[in-house]
Amino acid sequence: MIEPFIYPAATLIAGVDEVGRGPLVGAVVTAAVILDPARPIIGLADSKKLSEKRRLALYDEIVEKALSWSLGRAEPDEIDRLNILHATMLAMQRAVAGLHIAPDMVLIDGNRCPKLPMRSQAVVKGDSRVAEISAASILAKVTRDREMTELDREFPDYGFAQHKGYPTAFHLERLAVLGATEHHRRSFAPVRRALER
């Protein structure tokens, strides 16, 4: 049983989540969402626990009903330069900075917060406990999945549309045979090994 979350006192709360820390390819994508209490969205949950069809329907509803939402990202070269943790924090800062309404509190999925100009709080398992973070996780996941489908059209031999860039056996085998694309993260061990061959 996940503990229910007790919201801090705040007027405008943004939820922030990321998708894509584990993959070997592509950007880490983050989203920040301020929900509208007057327009509730039913069925928000951790994006990983929703079917693709349900995620896509919720994505459209969040974009339509949220008071403000924004995407942030860090590209593979930034991930290689900064490391994945620091690149994720940078992408989260970019998502919050992109909101057209400034929140007075930011709730972040996980156990650490990026430096932000307003109060923030890390929430472990926040994507299951906080509606704003669930909404952010859905926007980030749908966005990144779409990017992987696009990349799959450009590089059809790697199977990006299926594994979304994660280090599956198929992806590792293709990496060994075909080498890395310019979108691969060179600092990640399997990619580094493929490049050394």
CA-to-CA distance for 85 and 76, rounded, in angstroms?
A: 13
* % of the chain at pLDDT higher than 70: 99
Q: What's residue 4's pLDDT? A: 80
State pTM to two decimals. Answer: 0.95
* % of the chain at pLDDT higher than 90: 93
Calculate mean pLDDT across residues 186-194.
95
CA-to-CA distance for 45 and 134, rounded, in angstroms?
A: 5
Calculate mean pLDDT across residues 93-111.
97
Calculate mean pLDDT across residues 42-50.
92
Residue 1's pLDDT band (boundaries 50, 70, 90)? Answer: low
Residue 98 pLDDT > 80: yes
Calculate mean pLDDT across residues 77-86.
98
Instruction: Specify the pairing of strand 119-123 against strand 105-109.
Output: parallel
Distances (CA, A) of 16 to 35, 75, 93, 99, 180: 12, 18, 9, 11, 31
